[in-house]
Amino acid sequence: MTTIITTTSSPPLLCSFLSSKQFLLKPSHYLPHYPHFPKPKPLLNSFSAKPLLPKPRSTDSRTVLCFAGRRKPVELTEASPEDGSDGSLRRVFQIALWIAEGVYILWLFLLPYAPGDPVWAISSETVNYLVGLSLNFFFILPFMNFVGIHLIEAPVLHPMSEGLFNFVIAWTLMFAPLLYTDRRRDRYKGSLDVLWGLQMFLTNTFLIPYMAIRLNNADDVSGPSKRSKLGSLMTDGASYVGLIGGITCVLSIFWALYGRTDANFGGMAERWEFLIGFFGSERLAYAFIWDICLYMIFQPWLVGDNLGNVQEDKVVLVNYLRHIPVVGLVAYLLCLEPKEV
């Protein structure tokens, strides 16, 4: 007689191989017997003392449902100094900015320890040099003289000083549309027209306080105010301001390195030597170093806070470029899509 055992389910782990086939167990008279061999015993599970028998297939089929909700997409946003429930980080930034304002005014305007003369002891030579730089604003007069228009003769100054002056002023110009489109501009109670006008002449003397005031709590201010005529002009023409400012910055670098080659200002080594001496002897040039460093901090900060004003398909690009001096601000102005905030 032949006994057939068929498994219909898969036992776990080590015994699972037993369930995939059918086994034919022959009667004992087909097996060789020896006096000293015991009678074969049923196959035992290695984890149990009971014989391994096939389990009947369960008729209770169950379906396990997973009720885990879909994960919401995580929006990556860069933390800004205004964030934080308790406002402690915002307060730290405000204090640091007001301290920077005090140091800026004391060190660059009043104290005699920085290179050059303080404002209360400024020499007539420095004043004349500053007037000459202003006359060569954006290289308009030198260009007019170059094409044969000599209504006013452009002062012949060192191209390194002219390039540095116009580079900082062109960068300052491009801050105007950025300030007028700043979503926190209404926390500043003063006139943005006056603020930017003074910034064009005294740079960060007035921009630092604005950066501190814009960190005030939103609950303490009223709704958005209407832009002035100058603000609307700067906002509507932001792309033109960006092009003019960006081209002037590039031209300033080129002029500093290669301008006035016919005036015997020397080559690259001589010009670099003059620039180092200019920084160490003139308070104006020394202040420009501070202005450039502060602009490198304020530009990505302001642009990052106002990425909502940028065209939707250009946000990633502007967010990446905003850390590059001048370039990030030009990108913001070219990709600006003004919205009332």
Helix (H), strand (E) at residue 3: strand 3-5
Q: For residue 56, is it within any domain?
A: no
Helix (H), strand (E) at residue 23: strand 23-25
Q: For residue 55, is it within any domain?
A: no
Using 50, 70 and 90 to split pLDDT, how confident is the model at 19?
A: very low
Q: For residue 97, is it within any domain?
A: yes
- The more confident residue out of 221 and 317 is 317
Phi, psi of 177 (to 5 degrees): -60, -30
Token pair for 106: 């004391």
199 CA to centre of own chain: 23
Q: For residue 20, is it within any domain?
A: no
What's residue 17's pLDDT? 38
Token pair for 270: 């001589």
- The more confident residue out of 84 and 171 is 171
Across the range 74-96, mean pLDDT stands at 65
Helix (H), strand (E) at residue 4: strand 3-5
What's residue 87's pLDDT? 78
* Rounded-to-10 torsion of CA 173, 176, 182, 187: 120
The C-alpha angle with vertex 64 and arms to 62 and 65, in degrees rounded to 5, equals 135
E strands present in 155-248? none
In this structure, is the dihedral angle defined by the CA atoms of residues 325, 214, 97 and 199, taken in order, positive or negative? Answer: positive
Across the range 158-163, mean pLDDT stands at 96
What's residue 18's pLDDT? 41
Range of the domain at 311: 88-334
Q: For residue 305, is it within any domain?
A: yes
Distance separating alpha carbons of residues 77 and 304, to the nearest angstrom: 10
Query: Measuring CA to CA, which residue among 115, 117, 122 is closest to residue 278?
Result: 115
161 CA to centre of own chain: 30
Across the range 255-280, mean pLDDT stands at 93
Write down the pTM of the prediction. 0.74
**Which residues have CB under 8 Å from 25's CB, separation 6+?**
3, 4, 5
Is it the case that residue 71 has pLDDT exceeding 90? no
Q: For residue 47, is it within any domain?
A: no
Using 50, 70 and 90 to split pLDDT, how confident is the model at 227?
A: confident
What's residue 263's pLDDT? 87
**Number of domains the chain is built from:** 1
Q: For residue 4, is it within any domain?
A: no
User: 3: which strand partners?
Assistant: 25
By mean pLDDT, which of 93-97, 146-150, 164-168 is the weakest?
146-150
Decide: helix, strand or coil at residue 5.
Answer: strand
Using 50, 70 and 90 to split pLDDT, how confident is the model at 76?
A: very low
Q: What is the pLDDT of residues 92-113, one digit of tens each?
A: 999 999 999 999 999 999 999 9
